[in-house]
């Protein structure tokens, strides 16, 4: 049983057996909308970022992005969260990958809001811009880097933030810059500089670079949070310091609890359900405290630290139970491959177009995948997929990794990771069996994508293949 529901920022508490049910009956909507606006379509809050924000199906992985839980803090009649966080994304790759930023912009309505949170993957080149690094490597006759996510915080990182801000405003959308959550990099009980996204080294801006980023010529440290704050100041954008908020939280609860409960997913970057809910609570707190975002103040109930895990479970179970309870006519279908993106199929399986898995890849590559699709008939109530099976095998090496994601429509909306395996065994046939519901509305097209990458130990790898069998789905057509 969950206790001590916190109303607003006061110390008033009361016991309640069900947080979600209770808030429907006791929470006052805290809103500045006019009466006519209340009857209008809800404001959309779009969120763009990386794997610390993105969507995961509970059966796929213990990882949870905090964006999965943000909707729970808003009255759905007034605010609708569209979480578009993407695993593996940096500012550059989110902006330049065809089906990411363009598809978010296609969902904009005037009056919407956009939360922008990047840095984890922008740091992949140790605070340098990968294009600049590759130019230097070519000049020295050395092999170039293949992971193209890295940006330099004072220059290219800022430039992509400017692009997101300007293009959002062009659509009548209010941009919000939210600094990245801390990594759980503890030293003597404190989060260190790297955990706060301040990397070693400095950058001296030349006059051309300084002019592009609205800052004078000089030498600057490689602090992604400072650079995001400066963009917010230059562009008059609300800045929500999630880095400082998460740092305070982690240090207050201590390293032992933090690692055992918030970061028990195998690394010090990705949060569990409890950690994701803790961050979502911080995110709503920051929104509620920002005077420029008064319109987004909604629910005023906050779960306590002891309630995070249970609250997250309730949010996840609500949709799952509803889908399995729906009535319908059973069906079974074999899904056929419809498209390859930056992969080729040979006799032994799938591999990249140049026959080599690039070095340095540690997460999915959004524009490399095998794609399947199915459509629900326009007539009727749609369908629910209940089970997905896919035989697969990693041939030639033990470094193959995959995600299976789904999304809707040609713009691949609502991207969600439903399967993750970052340690596929070599030459061993596996059967992926996913028992998790996916609702496909009438007239909607569902796309499933298998996204492989290879842990290459610093060198490009050849003769490593991903083999896929027949993908089957079972479910029911809703009545």
Selecting from 3.40.50.980, 3.40.50.1110, 2.40.50.100, 2.30.110.10, what CATH number does the domain 6-323 have? Answer: 3.40.50.1110
Please tell me the predicted confidence (pLDDT) of residue 381.
87
pTM of the model: 0.77
From first to last of its 479 residues, the chain has per-residue pLDDT tens of 333 333 233 322 223 334 333 333 323 223 333 333 444 678 899 999 999 999 988 877 889 999 999 998 888 888 899 999 998 899 999 999 877 899 899 999 999 999 999 999 999 888 898 888 888 888 888 877 777 789 999 999 999 999 999 999 999 999 999 999 999 999 999 999 999 999 999 988 887 787 777 777 788 999 999 999 999 999 999 999 999 999 999 999 999 999 999 998 888 999 999 999 999 999 999 998 888 887 777 655 567 777 888 878 887 776 555 555 667 889 999 998 999 999 999 999 999 988 889 877 778 888 899 999 999 998 888 899 999 999 999 998 888 999 999 999 888 888 889 998 888 999 999 999 998 789 899 999 999 999 999 987 678 888 999 999 999 999 999 87
Burial of residue 20 (number of CB atoms within 10 Å: 0-12, 13-18, 19+): middle
CA 262 to chain centre: 17
- Using only C-alpha atoms, the chain has a radius of gyration, in whole angstroms, of 23
DSSP state of 269: S
Domain with CATH 2.60.120.260 in the chain: 326-478
Q: Which helix (H) or strand (E) holds 239?
A: strand 239-240
CA-based torsion, 246, 303, 80, 31: positive or negative: negative
Angle subtended at Cα 92 by Cα 86 and Cα 97, rounded to the nearest 5 degrees = 60
Please tell me the predicted confidence (pLDDT) of residue 269.
94
Phi and psi (nearest 5°) for 421? Answer: -140, 110
Residue 270 near residue 51 (C-beta atoms within 8 A)? yes
350 vs 343: CA distance, rounded Å: 6
Please tell me the predicted confidence (pLDDT) of residue 323.
56
314 vs 273: CA distance, rounded Å: 11
Tell me the CA distances in angstroms from 78 to 35, 40, 174, 216, 413, one per residue in order: 12, 8, 16, 42, 21
**Cα atoms in the Cβ-side hemisphere of radius 13 Å centred on 434:** 30
472 vs 147: CA distance, rounded Å: 33
Residue 119 near residue 196 (C-beta atoms within 8 A)? no
CA-wise closest residue to 114 among 68, 181, 30, 49: 49
CA 254 to chain centre: 26
Angle subtended at Cα 66 by Cα 244 and Cα 242, rounded to the nearest 5 degrees = 15
Q: What is the largest CA-CA distance in the chain?
A: 68
CATH for 326-478 is 2.60.120.260
Domain with CATH 3.40.50.1110 in the chain: 6-323
78 vs 272: CA distance, rounded Å: 28
């Amino acid at each position: 049983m969950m206790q001590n529901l916190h109303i607003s920022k006061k110390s008033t508490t009361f016991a309640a057996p069900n947080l979600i049910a209770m808030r429907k009956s006791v929470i006052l909507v805290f809103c500045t909308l006019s009466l006519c606006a209340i009857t209008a379509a809800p404001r959309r809050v779009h969120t763009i970022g990386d794997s610390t924000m993105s969507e995961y199906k509970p059966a796929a992985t213990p990882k949870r992005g905090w964006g999965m839980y943000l909707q729970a803090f808003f009255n759905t009649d007034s605010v609708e969260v569209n979480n578009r966080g993407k695993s593996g994304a940096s500012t550059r790759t989110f902006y330049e990958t065809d089906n990411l930023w363009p598809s978010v912009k296609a969902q904009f309505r005037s009056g919407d809001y956009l939360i922008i949170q990047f840095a984890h993957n922008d740091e992949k080149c140790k605070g340098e811009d990968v294009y600049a690094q590759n130019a230097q490597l070519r000049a020295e006759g050395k092999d170039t880097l293949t992971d193209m996510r890295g940006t330099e915080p004072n220059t290219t990182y800022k430039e992509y933030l400017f692009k997101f801000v300007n293009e959002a405003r062009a659509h009548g959308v209010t941009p919000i810059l939210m600094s990245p959550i801390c990594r759980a990099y503890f030293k003597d009980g404190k989060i260190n500089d790297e955990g706060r996204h301040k990397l070693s080294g400095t950058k001296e801006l030349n006059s051309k670079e300084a002019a592009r980023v609205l800052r004078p010529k000089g030498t600057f440290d490689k602090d992604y949070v400072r650079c995001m704050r400066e963009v917010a100041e230059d562009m008059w954008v609300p800045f929500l310091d999630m880095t400082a908020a998460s740092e305070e939280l982690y240090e207050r609860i201590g390293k032992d609890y933090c690692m055992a409960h918030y970061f028990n997913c195998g690394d010090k970057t990705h949060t569990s359900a409890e950690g994701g809910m803790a961050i979502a609570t911080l995110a709503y707190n920051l929104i509620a405290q920002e005077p420029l975002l008064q319109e987004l103040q909604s629910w005023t109930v906050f779960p306590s630290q002891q309630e995070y895990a249970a609250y997250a479970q309730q949010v996840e179970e609500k949709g799952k139970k509803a889908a399995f309870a729906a009535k319908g006519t059973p069906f079974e279908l074999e899904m056929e491959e419809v498209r390859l993106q930056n992969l080729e199929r040979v006799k032994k399986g799938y591999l990249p177009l140049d026959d080599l898995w690039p070095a340095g890849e540690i997460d999915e590559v959004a524009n490399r995948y095998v794609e399947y699709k199915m459509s629900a008939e326009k007539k009727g109530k749609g369908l629910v997929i209940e089970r997905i099976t896919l035989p697969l095998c990693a041939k030639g090496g033990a470094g193959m990794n995959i995600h299976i994601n789904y999304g809707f429509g040609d713009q691949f909306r609502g991207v969600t990771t439903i399967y993750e395996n970052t340690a596929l065994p070599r030459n061993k046939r596996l059967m992926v069996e996913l028992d998790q519901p996916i609702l496909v509305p009438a007239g909607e097209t569902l796309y499933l994508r298998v996204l492989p990458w290879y842990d290459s130990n610093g060198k490009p790898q050849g003769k490593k293949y991903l083999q896929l069998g027949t993908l089957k789905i079972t479910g029911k057509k809703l009545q």
